Amino acid sequence: MLTRRAPRARSAGERPVESPAAVRRIAALLRRGTFNVVLTGAGVSTESGLPDFRSNAGLWRGIDPARVASLSAFHRDPQAFYAFYQTRLAALAGAAPNAAHRAIAGLEALGAVHLVVTQNVDGLHQRAGSRDVVEVHGNLREARCAGCGSLRPIAEMAGPLRSGTLPRCAACGGLLRPNVVLFEELLPAAAYDRAASACGTCRVLLVVGSSLAVYPVAGLPALAARRGASLVIVNREPTPLDGQAEVVVRDDAGAALSRIADEVASEPN
């Protein structure tokens, strides 16, 4: 189930690393790692024009997610629920992969990243060329029937909504909803189990654009660190796990990852 925790502030003596040396250090870790995982959050997609959730301009500013993005909201007030997701789908229709998505796909092509675990539901990693992506919060490419559970293209939900009618499953007549994890729902077991297994066995976990405030996914970096992985965090704001990270870079995802990918590509095998 999705739960949130306030981020821990860094103490006065802590300093994030922001330098060419940090980029070289991260690149060296990725080159040496035999199984490296990237964990991404909403901060990766903000540079594509998609809002995050908790910043001053985020989706939850002035909105109670329990009223528009929970299982209860879907059953209690489907009009408000669908209006919220129509807004999200409209924003996604105009979005394209940005430098961060392309850099992660580039690192994968170089053999420096072996799996992408994402909290995002926008599909931009796949569109950028990433081949192995675990979507722990579901996706907005598909609709799911609340009755029979069948999956359909998201257009089968979006089309009726644009016409002012509720979207119904052609097989059973149940309401269609986005195939995403709503508040009050558990994460899909297969996706989360694969993500947890990967984080528990990886050599490097590169966390990008996540506040690490939404559980259970926020617990994966601590799991990786306990199992001996090198933890690297790239985020514009502090996270609760910064104190456990080997390297912390405070920068935009696109700029930081582009430098890291360039450094990995320039190093000898």
Catalytic positions are: 137
To which residue do tokens 């984080």 refer?
199
Rg (the chain; Cα; Å):
19
**CA–CA distance, 26 with 107 (Å, rounded to integer):** 12
CB-CB contact of 239 with 29 (8 Å):
no
